[in-house]
Amino acid sequence: MRNVVWAMLPVALFSVYSFGLSALLVLITSTASCVITEHFLCRYSKKQSTVSDWSAVISGLLLGLTLPPGFPLWMTFAGGVIAMSLGKYIFGGLGYNVFNPALVGRAVLQAAFPVAITTWYPSFLENRFSSLPSSTFTFPFMEPVVDGVAGATPLSAFKFDHVTTDTMELALGQISGSTGETCAVLIILGGLYLIARNMMNWRIPVAVLGSAYLFSGLMYLVDPQVYPSPMFMLFSGGLMLGAVFMATDMVASPITPLGAVIYGTIIGLLVIIIRIWGGLPEGVMYAILLANAISPHIDNMIRPRVYGTSKRLSRS
């Protein structure tokens, strides 16, 4: 699983490059939090430590990549603890989690700290390597004080002010957003690397992005004034990161090729529905968590025809 870490590394490095020290601290904290939590949970349950299988590192990095730079570190740490304990260990550890653990952590953070998690800092600030936003070191159990420099993400700018951002800026990460979601090109490269190493089911990202593109394209054709272009939808927010690194969590996604396509399609549709009609500007997290929940049912219903039998569906 180390390869997944290698694939995410360029994305993480770019986020440090564009957001500076605050992003670096968020990523380090989230990763450390997940690894430490996993270690202690293993020790507590008297199992052999599973830290060495790298899955906690992956979850930690993923969690960090979904959080805004400048996110209070104590909240980040709490998110990692929740991701590992409620997202993974409570179900029995690696291989048994129903949901993507990193997203469980983030969902709790989103519910608990709605302001902090939607406070975005612009990228490429002059002083990003020399100073930190005051929110980073917010005292535990305190809400952060928002600096005056907070910037809107392309999605919230669109949702609330109806301003669209140029696709090239989105693809190359010249925008504000969560630490890891801004540079679509690096995310795609990481995904291609994993697909080439046969470590990712390519059908999932393709189905997620394809269905999101088609559905939002349809809406765009209906009324281009109200609905954003499909390219904007694809490259903004966490869709790319979610499609490539989150939806593809093997444990929480269907095992058959057809099941994977159905699962991906559902995620794509849900993302667009939440983005267009929901109260939040972004819907990738909830779309993936919902699809995670139905993934076992997809596996139950979609079964390849067994050699020598005529039934496509199970007998049960």
Q: Tell me which of 44, 111, 115, 308 binds other proteins, using CB under 8 A.
A: 308
Spatial separation of the C-alpha atoms in residues 94 and 53, rounded to whole Å: 9
Provide, rounded to whole angstroms, the least separation between the CB of residue 316 and other proteins.
Answer: 5
Binding to other proteins by residue 303, rule CB under 8 A?
A: yes
Binding to other proteins by residue 90, rule CB under 8 A?
A: no
CA dihedral of residues 255, 259, 262, 266 (deg, nearest 10): -40
Binding to other proteins by residue 95, rule CB under 8 A?
A: yes
Please classify residue 277 by burial: count the beta carbons closer than 10 Å to its beta carbon, then call 0-12 exposed, 13-18 middle and 19+ buried: exposed
* Cβ pair 26, 64 in contact under 8 A: yes
C-alpha distances in angstroms, 33 versus 4, 25, 84, 135, 147? 19, 12, 9, 19, 26
Least Cα distance to 73 among 124, 40, 26 occurs for 26
- CB nearer other proteins, residue 212 or residue 244: 244
- 143 sits in the region (left: phi over 0; alpha: psi -120 to 50; else beta) called beta
- CB nearer other proteins, residue 40 or residue 91: 91
- CB nearer other proteins, residue 46 or residue 315: 315
Q: Which stretch binds other proteins (CB under 8 A): 137-145, 184-192, 212-220, 301-309?
A: 301-309
Q: Which stretch binds other proteins (CB under 8 A): 83-91, 134-142, 159-167, 300-308?
A: 300-308
The Cα diameter of the chain in Å comes to 68
Spatial separation of the C-alpha atoms in residues 92 and 87, rounded to whole Å: 10
Please classify residue 51 by burial: count the beta carbons closer than 10 Å to its beta carbon, then call 0-12 exposed, 13-18 middle and 19+ buried: middle
Tokens of 175: 């925008």
Quote the DSSP letter at residue 245: I
User: Which amino acid belongs to residue 238?
Assistant: G
Q: Which stretch binds other proteins (CB under 8 A): 20-28, 89-97, 157-165, 239-247?
A: 89-97
Spatial separation of the C-alpha atoms in residues 61 and 180, rounded to whole Å: 9
Provide, rounded to whole angstroms, the least separation between the CB of residue 251 and other proteins.
Answer: 5
Provide, rounded to whole angstroms, the least separation between the CB of residue 195 and other proteins.
Answer: 13
- CB nearer other proteins, residue 61 or residue 75: 61
Binding to other proteins by residue 292, rule CB under 8 A?
A: no
Binding to other proteins by residue 47, rule CB under 8 A?
A: no
Provide, rounded to whole angstroms, the least separation between the CB of residue 189 and other proteins.
Answer: 22
Binding to other proteins by residue 96, rule CB under 8 A?
A: yes
Site for other proteins in 244-283 (CB under 8 A): 250-251, 253, 255-256
- CB nearer other proteins, residue 96 or residue 137: 96
Site for other proteins in 154-213 (CB under 8 A): 201
Binding to other proteins by residue 59, rule CB under 8 A?
A: no
Tokens of 149: 């420099």
Provide, rounded to whole angstroms, the least separation between the CB of residue 245 and other proteins.
Answer: 15
Q: Tell me which of 93, 122, 217, 278 binds other proteins, using CB under 8 A.
A: 93
Q: Rule CB under 8 A: which residues touch other proteins? A: 53, 93-96, 201, 250-251, 253, 255-256, 299, 303-309, 314-316
